[in-house]
Structure 1
Amino acid sequence: MRKLRIFSIVTTVVVLFVLLQGSIVTKTGSGQGCGTTWPLCFGDVIPLNPTLETIIEFTHRLISSVAGMMVLILSFWSWRKLKDIKEIKFFAILATAAIIIQGLMGAGQVVYGQPPLIMALHFGFSAISLAAVFTITLFTFEKKERPLKATVGKAFYRFIVAITIYAYAVIYTGAFVKHMGAATVCTGFPMCNGELVLFSEGMIVFAQMFHRLSGMLLALLIVVLFIWIVKMYRSQRFLWWIGWFCLSLVVIQFLSGISMVLTYNQHLTIGIIHALTISILFSVLTYTIVVTRRK
């Protein structure tokens, strides 16, 4: 079990790094750094005299391939080793399917080019892959004779499911904004260029403002979740820490989003933090669904 636990942690870190690499590729405009050839780079196994964009894209491909193999190994290994955990089969299949679809979509984008909506889906499958691997990793820390569970009411459980699905939808709105180049279309916050606009200024402004409203609603829902936990379930240590962790993540997400707008999205680190926190939040909420579902 110790070897599986270590391997799962390393796999989670590698998958997370791939997700961040994807943000760097988009931010630096390196998606065509290897031309339109895949899996080769400009027809070569290893590119000769590469530009910075080529190095970024080639490295992303290389580490993505390693991550894919690690996820496949982890899925099979955990399925065999963690048979006592009834949810393991679902998450092993989910992790495998997500990483394969993610890879195929990335290859399709290089060879054929893809519209912003499809590229947003690519990031969405990256988030699913991370959430599945993250959950499997936490399974390796559970005691076989006493799996982690939380006793909650039906309304709270349904709220957790709803907020997880909504967080995933917010991931798509942000990815769509990024891939259609709408991140810097508005200056200032909360208004756009000094005006409260949504539908009247075209699709690109609509995407930016819609994402802002979606993010603010997510923050509000997390605050409601936190208050609910404090009032009803503060005696359950797992939920107590989940409440604080989710609240901290959404604050970081909110502040990093505002910072991206105010700095005209010029700082790569802020964009990485923004993509990182929403992905981790979705992963944490996914595991919370599992724990609160158990009887």
Structure 2
Amino acid sequence: MQKQYPYLRVLTWLTVFGSYLMLIHGSIVTITESGQGCGNSWPVCKGQLIPEDVSIETVIEYSHRIVSGAVGFLILLLAVWCWISFWKNSKIRWLAFWSLFFVVLQGALGALTVVFQGDFERNAALALHFGFSLVSLASVILLNIELRQMLKGENKTRFPISRNFRLFLWIYVLYTYAVVYTGALVRHAEATMACGYHVPLCGPQLLPSLANPAGIQMLHRYAAVSLWLIMLVLLLLILVKYPDRKQLKKTSWTAFIFITLQAVSGVIIVLSGGQLLAALLHTTVISIFFTIILYMATQKNWS
């Protein structure tokens, strides 16, 4: 990519970095409760292009909108470039489409959250908003990987994996997204410290009512534990069924390490009292893990 498309290489890396920044910036908006920093105005802030009454919440929310708009433009530019130059490559064509589709969708949903008044509707929409940003980031990263592999002309000998195994991977991707949604719901429902400093349970109750924050917190914990267990089973299956696929085994081990780190970072959030840096670490790790398993699901052949 360096020799044939030097500017495309720069654009892809800028887009990856920008997409990650947008995701992290959105988490900061939530954690600092700055979502209403611009009132009910969108896309301007407090009815003005440059608001006169500026608070720290206003700066955080408005800067997030500006960053999101800039990243959206970068993704649009990247998608159009890919469609023009590599239209015959269906994988690149669709990855470009999904990158653009989900960044537009999360932007539209972000605008809707500004006008939502009900807590439940707003929390649900904000959780989806994070999920769409995550899918857009993962799609941009996979697009970057696919472009680099194609332009480098990598011709490693690869062998197909079974159709049922790929189906299992896609189901796991969807389940991971659902678990991510429960985590985003914890954050937006302000349930991060609903169980105090208790880990792994929530005091004497195994499953508090979902009508209160403690129930939402425990739902996410149970879902996260099941996600780790399924990844462990998936890793063991790969080691047994595909012992000669070095790349597949390496990728699976990487995914298992990151889902373990995700669990550790979740514990750190609770023990630190929901500190900002701990929450951003949690967001970063799950973003990497989701991208890895999405990559696994999209690969038909492995070396």
Q: TM-score, normalised by structure 1?
A: 0.92
Partner of 2:172: 163
Which amino acid counterpart does residue 144 of structure 2 have in structure 1? T
The sequence identity of aligned pairs, in percent, is 33
Partner of 1:191: 201
Whole-angstrom distance in 2 between the partners of 1:140 and 1:88: 7
Secondary structure, counterpart of 2:37 in structure 1: coil
Write the deviation string for residues 57-101 of structure 1: whole angstroms up to 9, x where unpaired: 111111000001011111111122233432122222211211111
Q: 1:45 to 1:234 in 2, by over 3 A?
A: farther
- Give yes or no for the alignment of 1:133 onto 2:111: no
Please state how far the C-alpha of 1:256 moved relative to its aligned partner: 0.8
- Give yes or no for the alignment of 1:228 onto 2:255: no
Please state how far the C-alpha of 1:255 moved relative to its aligned partner: 0.5
- Please identify, of 7-16 and 45-54, the stretch whose mean Cα deviation from structure 2 is larger: 45-54
Partner of 2:104: 100
Alignment of 1:1-295 (within 5 A): 1-48=5-52, 50-113=54-117, 114-143=121-150, 146=154, 150-187=159-196, 188-192=198-202, 194-200=203-209, 202-265=211-274, 267-292=275-300
- Please identify, of 113-122 and 244-253, the stretch whose mean Cα deviation from structure 2 is larger: 113-122
- Please identify, of 86-95 and 159-168, the stretch whose mean Cα deviation from structure 2 is larger: 86-95
Q: Is the 8 A contact 1:30 1:54 kept in 2?
A: yes
Structure 2, unaligned stretches of length 5 or more? none
Q: Is the 8 A contact 1:150 1:239 kept in 2?
A: no
How many aligned residue pairs are there?
293
Please state how far the C-alpha of 1:157 moved relative to its aligned partner: 1.6
Q: Is the 8 A contact 1:150 1:238 kept in 2?
A: no
Q: 1:110 to 1:268 in 2, by over 3 A?
A: same
Whole-angstrom distance in 2 between the partners of 1:101 and 1:31: 18
Write the deviation string for residues 110-141 of structure 1: whole angstroms up to 9, x where unpaired: 23445211111111111111111111111111
Secondary structure, counterpart of 1:140 in structure 2: helix
Please state how far the C-alpha of 1:201 moved relative to its aligned partner: 7.0
Q: 1:293 to 1:46 in 2, by over 3 A?
A: farther
Q: 1:20 to 1:201 in 2, by over 3 A?
A: closer
Write the deviation string for residues 237-278 of structure 1: whole angstroms up to 9, x where unpaired: 32122112101211111001111122221x101101111211
